[in-house]
Amino acid sequence: MEGLEAVARGSVTAALIFTQHHAAADVIVQGDNESLREQLCPQIVSGELLLTVGISHLTTSRQGGEPAMRVSWDGKTATFTGVMPWVTSAEHADGIVTGGVTDDGQQIIALMPTDAPGLEIEAPVELAALQGSCTSLVHCRGVELCGGQVIRGPAANALSRRAPVRPLVVSSVGVGLAGAMISELKRSAPGRGAELRALADQLLVKYGAVRRRLYEAQDMLSDASAELPAGQIRAQVNDLLVRLSVAVVTFAKGTGYVQGQPAQRLAREAFFFLVWSIPEDIQVRSLHRLLDEPS
CATH number of the domain that 245 lies in?
A: 1.20.140.10
Residue 104 lies in a domain: yes
Domain end among 122, 155, 188? 155
Torsion sign over Cα 64, 67, 73, 78:
negative
> 118 and 56: one domain?
yes
What average pLDDT does this structure show over 73-90?
Answer: 93
With bands split at pLDDT 50, 70 and 90, how would you rate the model's confidence at 281? Answer: confident
> 6 and 122: one domain?
yes
Task: Kindly tell me if the per-residue pLDDT of 291 is higher than 90.
Answer: no
> 103 and 201: one domain?
no
Structurally, the chain folds into a number of domains equal to 2
Residue 246 lies in a domain: yes
The number of beta carbons lying within 10 Å of the beta carbon of residue 140 is 26
Q: What is the pTM of this model?
A: 0.90
Domain end among 155, 182, 201? 155
> 118 and 263: one domain?
no
Task: Kindly tell me if the per-residue pLDDT of 64 is higher than 80.
Answer: no
pLDDT for residue 294: 61
Question: What average pLDDT is seen over the chain?
Answer: 90
Domain end among 155, 177, 204? 155
Report the range of poorest mean pLDDT among 37-41, 111-115, 226-230. Answer: 226-230
pLDDT for residue 260: 82
CATH of the domain at 42: 2.40.110.10
- Of 104, 118, 138, 107, the closest CA to residue 20 belongs to 138
Q: In whole angstroms, what is the distance from residue 163 CA to residue 148 CA?
A: 23
> 38 and 146: one domain?
yes
> 115 and 70: one domain?
yes
Residue 160 lies in a domain: no
Task: Kindly tell me if the per-residue pLDDT of 60 is higher than 70.
Answer: no
Q: In whole angstroms, what is the distance from residue 132 CA to residue 140 CA?
A: 24
Q: What percentage of the chain has pLDDT greater than the value 90?
A: 65
> 205 and 177: one domain?
yes
Report the range of poorest mean pLDDT among 2-16, 65-79, 132-146, 201-215. Answer: 65-79
What average pLDDT does this structure show over 155-181?
Answer: 88
> 20 and 147: one domain?
yes
Residue 28 lies in a domain: yes
> 183 and 56: one domain?
no
With bands split at pLDDT 50, 70 and 90, how would you rate the model's confidence at 290? Answer: confident
Cα angle: 69, vertex 75, 81; to 5 degrees: 20
- Of 208, 171, 135, 177, the closest CA to residue 270 belongs to 177
Residue 82 lies in a domain: yes
Could you report the per-residue pLDDT of 244-263, keeping only the tens digit for each? 999 999 988 887 788 888 99
> 124 and 170: one domain?
no
Residues paired with residue 119 on neighbouring β-strands, in sequence order: 140
> 61 and 150: one domain?
yes
Structural domain including 140 reads: 2-155
Q: In whole angstroms, what is the distance from residue 79 CA to residue 143 CA?
A: 5
Per DSSP, the three-state class of 225 is coil
> 283 and 173: one domain?
yes
Residue 295 lies in a domain: no
pLDDT for residue 204: 93
With bands split at pLDDT 50, 70 and 90, how would you rate the model's confidence at 243? Answer: very high
Torsion angle of C-alpha atoms 276, 287, 167, 203, degrees rounded to 10: 90
